[in-house]
């Protein structure tokens, strides 16, 4: 059903675009004085240009600020654990996998071989945090475990024949 709607919609848009092309083609030999139009549009373009740039600047700053990549500010008294994560073909070396509820953990993720994906899933198998494991580079994921349970680590990037074997568990009590 949805495919039919998408197909018909695309067809309509294709026809509209084709009609515009035909119209332009049929009118292309006509000569008209367009200095008036040019002047008007140059002015409009300048105004819209400035508005768009300003808008993009504001939106960019605002949305980048909201990205969750910054180092978090921890509440006083929070235990912060630094955990080394090494992704290897095909498995995980994780320096610490048992935590308490409320623990804040900084996973420093890297790999000696190829690029992997480090994904943390909760018990409903919903992805709650992830980063790339890159050779010669360390990415850090900041996590606070608010709920007890068993969290699953899966590789999020196809990395070879044993990709599906790259699982691990983290327990929070
Ligand atoms: Cu490692 Cu897929």
5-17 residue pLDDT tens: 999 999 999 999 9
Tell whether 59 is covered by a domain. Answer: yes
Last residue of a domain, one of 64, 96, 115: 64
Task: Please give the number of the atom of ligand 1 that sits closest to the Cα of 114.
Answer: 1
Asked if pLDDT for residue 103 goes beyond 70, the answer is yes
| Residues of the domain holding 91 | 80-172
Residue 77's pLDDT is 76
Tell whether 97 is covered by a domain. Answer: yes
In this prediction the pTM is 0.60
Q: Which long-range contacts (CB under 8 A, 24 or more apart) does 158-165 make?
A: 159/87, 159/89, 159/90, 159/113, 159/114, 159/115, 159/116, 160/89, 160/90, 160/114, 161/90, 162/89, 162/90, 163/90, 165/90, 165/91
The rounded Å distance from CA 153 to ligand 1 centre is 11
Taking residue 160's Cβ as centre, other Cβ atoms within 10 Å add up to 13
The rounded Å distance from CA 90 to ligand 1 centre is 7
* Per-residue model confidence as pLDDT tens digits over 76-94: 777 789 999 999 999 999 9
Question: Same domain, yes or no, for 56 and 87?
Answer: no
The alpha-carbon radius of gyration of the chain (Å, integer) is: 27
Asked if pLDDT for residue 70 goes beyond 70, the answer is no
Last residue of a domain, one of 11, 30, 64: 64
Tell whether 71 is covered by a domain. Answer: no
pLDDT band at 3 (very low <50, low <70, confident <90, very high): confident
Task: Please give the number of the atom of ligand 1 that sits closest to the Cα of 116.
Answer: 1
């Amino acid at each position: 059903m949805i495919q039919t709607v998408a197909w018909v919609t695309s067809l309509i848009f294709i026809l509209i675009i084709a009609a515009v092309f035909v119209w332009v083609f049929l009118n292309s030999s006509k000569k008209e004085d367009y200095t008036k139009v040019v002047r008007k549009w140059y002015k409009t373009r300048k105004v819209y240009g400035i508005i768009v740039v300003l808008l993009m600047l504001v939106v960019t700053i605002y949305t980048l600020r909201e990205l969750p990549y910054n180092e978090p500010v921890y509440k006083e008294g929070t235990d912060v654990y630094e955990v080394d994560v090494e992704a290897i073909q095909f498995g995980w070396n994780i320096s610490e996998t048992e935590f308490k509820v409320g623990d804040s953990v900084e996973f420093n993720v890297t790999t000696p071989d190829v690029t992997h994906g480090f994904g943390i899933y909760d018990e409903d198998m919903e992805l709650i945090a992830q980063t790339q494991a890159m050779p010669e580079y360390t990415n850090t994921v900041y996590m606070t475990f608010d709920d007890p349970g068993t969290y699953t680590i899966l590789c999020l990037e196809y990395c070879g024949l044993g990709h599906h074997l790259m699982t691990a568990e983290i327990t929070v009590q």
